[in-house]
Structures are given as structure tokens and as C-alpha cells.
Amino acid sequence: MPYYLPAGMATARQWESAMAQENNDVYHIIDRIKDAANILDLDDWLVHKLCSVKMEWASDIEVRMDDGSLREFRAVRVWHRSPHTDKPHKGGLRYHPAVNVEMMKGHAMEMSLKCWLLGIKWGGAKGGVAVNPRELSAQELKKVTEALVEAMNERNILGPFRDVPAPDIGTNATVMNWIRQYYARLRRSREDARFAGVVTGKPIGEDLDGIPGRTEATGYGLVQVLNKILDVYGKDRNGCEVKVMGFGNVGAHFAKFAVEAGYKVIAISDEHGAIHSPSGIDVDKLWQYVYDNPNNTLRSVNGYADASGINHEEFMSLKCNVFVPAALENVIDKNNADVIGDNCEFVLEGANGPTTNRADDILERHNVIVVPDILANAGGVVVSYFEWAHNVNIRDDRVPMADKDAVLAAMSDMLHKATTQVTSRAEQLDTNLRKAAYVVSIERAKPHFEAKHLA
Ligand code: NAD
């Protein structure tokens, strides 16, 4: 069974459909935008723009499987609004069975807000393919990716100045490289040499055009934001106990850098199980067990010998200082927010949209400080921006040399500044960090929308 199923849900599909009804991501984001709009007293036309999307696209792509059969997969892409007409839309590309247009609308809106909060002039986008990549061979996955590029290209959706995908759940640097190569093949005769900017999160190496630090950026950035937040709230990070949901790109890198920074990671979960060690998990050793171990075909923390196996409910109710959801959206909802509120002080949103609005209210009643996704996990988009700026030769003083230390330092600098802006604004408005982050972000985009509106 691929998921932990809450009581009363007989199948993963039943759970997903219940999640979709109760936790419609797009309405969450719209409510949050409207809260910020009220604080900023925005005009109706701007509220309408912010609460709607510019483009939604869906297509069934056909792929010949290794056994000769033909299979169809749903491919989707959504663009939120952007006042920056000379810059692309930007956002993750997800390969996961639950991918659909409605879910991607909320993520695209959040992506805009994340970019604006960090001072990056991109519009948000999000999309993917409804597929479980683990069920396909590498060859089949490559064909799915090429069919997606072909379909997006037909509609003129992709391009270094139109829409620039990046890795997300189920995709990685290899998938980004396939996109870049196939896009270049399709467009060679029509565009110049800046094809590399069609995706970010590409591999590093000669002619591969990725930037060092992109793979670890989101996890590393989470630690930087957490450090700053703990400074602001006067809490010592040494020995601070952390539990992490998800041991993929974001969760695993976060856990690794958190331990290096002095935090104690006491529990980690993934879709197959969870582990707990009160004395702290040796994340490097766990990494080897998960990623450098040919016998661990599921790439799971399950069965790791130096920690106890626990179930999902035990993991969620485990006491810690900081809970880092770094897996899927809507994992903190009205059903478990009280338990989480009783057992942790901070929620650091590594995933996009892990907390529903009802859960937000419950956590606030428990005085839990939620560090919102658009701030917490923005490290990835910052380094994506550096990569794209190198690829398309954009000049911006914030963009460092393509050297890993310089990249991570420049990214940390931008995250620290944004964290300070959000915490100060929260104090000034006497509100929580999510509302403050939305206010700072929308306030930054507002003059650009107004200039475009009046033009
Ligand atoms: P990934 O595919 O590399 O890892 C996902 C992890 O979540 C895996 O360990 C998987 O086992 C686990 N998981 C899935 N379902 C689970 C469940 N029900 N319970 C517990 N664990 C579960 O994906 P990723 O790139 O690490 O992305 C994770 C989240 O972070 C997503 O919400 C994504 O949108 C967000 N994000 C990613 C980036 C990035 O740079 N990759 C940037 C910003 C935000």
C-alpha cells in the first residue's frame, strides 16, 4: 500500500478523493491571498487577478511501454498571473499519481508568492504527469517526459522566457536534462543557443548547464531559515529536537544539514514507514542505507537498524521542538493538528502546502509557530533563479559565480533577508508568519501589477 491510510479510508484512492474535497489547495491559497488583500486594502481588480490563473492546460499523452502496449497519462500545467511580462512562469514538475489541474492551481499561485517574496520577478507555474515513476522503467519514463515536452511545445507553453519547469516530487536532474535535450531538438531551427534556460535543476558538468548547489538548495535553505527563526524567537538550536516527514530531496538534505548545524534529528518518515531514535539519527549512515544500498529498492528508511520502527500515528504524535513536513501537501489537517499542536513548538514547511487552513487555526491556538512554505522552502527557487540567469545571460548583482559555496552563501543571504522582513512584518501587524509573508510578497508585486494595469 503506497500511503499510510487514515482510519475509515479503505483505499489510497478514497483517501485522495477525500483529501481533494476537504483540502482543496486552490481555495486555501485564495483564502490566504484574500486575508493579505484585506490587510493591504487592495483594489478588487487586483484581488481578482491574484485569485485566478492565466493558463490551465491538460492533455492525455500517449506512450509506448517496454512490453509494446500503449498507455495514456494525464499531463497538466498551470500558470498563475504575473506582472512581469518579459520574464517566464516558473515552477515544479511533479510525477505523482495524484497530479491534477485543481491541485496545481494552488501550487502555481504559491509559486508566484514565493518568487515575489524573494524579490524574483517570475510568475508561478506548476504541473506534472499523473504517473507513479517507480512503476516505469527508465526508458519508459524518458518517453513520458518526451511526450510531455512534445505536447507542451505544440501549445507553445515551454521556453526559457515562457515557462521553466524544475524538479519536484518524482522528478530530478535526469528528467530536467531529458526535457532540455528534447526541447532543443524540437526547437533547434527556431531559437538561439539559450535552450539550457528551458528548465532548472539540470545536472552539473560540461554542457549540462546545471548550477552547483541546486540539488541541496531547498534542504540547505530550510536550515538557514530555521536558524534565523530560532534567533528571532530566542531559542537555542543546539540539541533542538527535529522530526522530518519525507526523506527525498528536500527531507534528506534538510536532515543532513540540520545535523551539521547542531540540531538533533530524532525521527524521520517516508511513504513506507518511520523511524525514531531519541539520541538522534546518524543521517549520513541513514543516507547510505537509503540511497547507496542496492538491496533497498524502495529507497525507504524502513528497516534501518540503528533506530526503532514506528507507525505513522506514533510519528505524528512524537514530541519534538520542530516538525518539518517535507513530503506531500495537506498532511497537517483538522484531524491531526491538535496532536501536532500539543507536541511541537515550530512547524517548518519543507513541502508546498502541507498545512490546511483549518489546521493553521488550530496550530495557532496551540501557539505553534508555522514557518510558511513560501519562505521556508524558497531556497530551491532562489538557486533555480541563479541557474536560469547564468543560462540566459541575465545580469543581476545578486547572482553569484557558479561555485557551490558562493551559490549557497548568496542564497542564504536572500533567505535571511526575507525571513527578517517577514518576522518584522508579523510583529508590526501582530499576525502570524504566513499572513505576514503573503503581505510582504503581494506588496512587492502590487506596483508592477498597477503599472501593467494602467499601461
Ligand atoms: P521527493 O520525491 O524527492 O521526496 C518525497 C518524499 O516524501 C519521499 O521520501 C517519499 O517517500 C515521501 N512521502 C511521500 N508520501 C508520503 C507520506 N504519505 N508520508 C510520509 N512521507 C511520504 O520530493 P521532494 O523534491 O523532496 O519534494 C518534497 C516536497 O517539497 C514537495 O511538496 C515539493 O513540492 C516540495 N518542494 C520541493 C523542492 C525541490 O527543490 N525539490 C523545492 C520546494 C518545495
* Domain contains 449: no
Phi, psi for 445 (deg, rounded to 5): -80, -25
pTM here?
0.92
* Domain contains 210: no
Mean pLDDT of 51-60: 96
Identify the CA nearest to 433 among candidates 356, 379, 370.
Answer: 370
Do 184 and 233 share a domain, yes or no?
Answer: no
Of ligand 1's listed atoms, the one at least distance from the Cα of 352 is: 32
Do 188 and 226 share a domain, yes or no?
Answer: no
Using one digit for the tens of pLDDT, what is the confidence trace for 244-303? 999 999 999 999 999 999 999 999 999 999 999 999 999 999 999 999 999 999 999 999
* Domain contains 171: yes
Q: How far is the CA of 126 from the centre of ligand 1 (A)?
A: 15
* Domain contains 428: no
* Domain contains 48: no
pLDDT exceeds cutoff 60 at 235: yes
Neighbours of 14 (CB within 10 A): 13
Do 234 and 364 share a domain, yes or no?
Answer: yes
| Residue 188 pLDDT grade (very low, low, confident, very high; cuts 50, 70, 90) | confident
Ligand 1 in contact with 348 (CB < 6 A)?
Answer: no
Mean pLDDT of 402-428: 97
Of ligand 1's listed atoms, the one at least distance from the Cα of 274 is: 20
Q: What angle do CA 181, 185, 186 make, to 5 degrees?
A: 120
Do 278 and 194 share a domain, yes or no?
Answer: no
Mean pLDDT of 161-168: 96
The amino acid that residue 74 corresponds to is R
Ligand 1 in contact with 354 (CB < 6 A)?
Answer: no
* Domain contains 67: yes
Do 109 and 246 share a domain, yes or no?
Answer: no
Mean pLDDT of 121-144: 97
- What CATH number should be reported for the domain holding residue 353? 3.40.50.720
Of the chain, the end-to-end C-alpha distance in Å amounts to 54
pLDDT exceeds cutoff 90 at 69: yes
- What CATH number should be reported for the domain holding residue 97? 3.40.50.10860
Ligand 1 in contact with 169 (CB < 6 A)?
Answer: yes
Do 180 and 228 share a domain, yes or no?
Answer: no
Per the structure, the complete domain to which residue 191 belongs is given by 53-198
Q: How far is the CA of 451 from the centre of ligand 1 (A)?
A: 37
pLDDT exceeds cutoff 50 at 445: yes
Which of 168, 287, 302, 318 most suits a substitution to test ligand 1, by most atoms within 8 Å of the C-beta? Answer: 168
| Least confident stretch, 16-30, 162-176, 256-270 | 16-30
Mean pLDDT of 230-250: 95
The pLDDT, as a whole number, for residue 137 is 97
The pLDDT, as a whole number, for residue 190 is 52
Do 157 and 274 share a domain, yes or no?
Answer: no
| Residue 189 pLDDT grade (very low, low, confident, very high; cuts 50, 70, 90) | low
Ligand 1 in contact with 375 (CB < 6 A)?
Answer: no
How much is the mean pLDDT over the chain? 93
* Domain contains 153: yes
- The residue written with cell numbers 500500500 in the block is 1
Helices (H) and strands (E) in the chain, counts: 16, 12
Do 317 and 256 share a domain, yes or no?
Answer: yes
Q: What secondary structure does DSSP assign to 338-359, as a single string?
A: HHHHHH-SEEE--SSS-B-HHH
Mean pLDDT of 180-195: 78
Q: Which residue, of 350, 376, 402, is where some domain finishes? A: 376
* Domain contains 105: yes
Domain count, the chain: 2
Do 189 and 229 share a domain, yes or no?
Answer: no
User: Positive or negative CA dihedral for 425, 451, 380, 220?
Assistant: negative
Phi, psi for 426 (deg, rounded to 5): -60, -40
Q: Which residue, of 376, 392, 427, is where some domain finishes? A: 376
Do 223 and 358 share a domain, yes or no?
Answer: yes
Instruction: Determine which one of 49, 87, 114, 126 is catalytic.
Output: 126
Packing angle of the helix pair 101-117, 379-392 (nearest 10 deg): 80
Do 188 and 240 share a domain, yes or no?
Answer: no
Of ligand 1's listed atoms, the one at least distance from the Cα of 250 is: 26
| Residue 54 pLDDT grade (very low, low, confident, very high; cuts 50, 70, 90) | very high
d(CA 289, CA 302): 10
Do 65 and 135 share a domain, yes or no?
Answer: yes
The pLDDT, as a whole number, for residue 41 is 97
Quick check: 176 and 349 in contact, CB under 8 A?
no
Q: How far is the CA of 48 from the centre of ligand 1 (A)?
A: 31
Q: Which residue, of 336, 361, 376, is where some domain finishes? A: 376
Ligand 1 in contact with 438 (CB < 6 A)?
Answer: no
126 catalytic residue (yes or no) = yes
Of ligand 1's listed atoms, the one at least distance from the Cα of 251 is: 26
Q: How far is the CA of 438 from the centre of ligand 1 (A)?
A: 23
pLDDT exceeds cutoff 60 at 308: yes
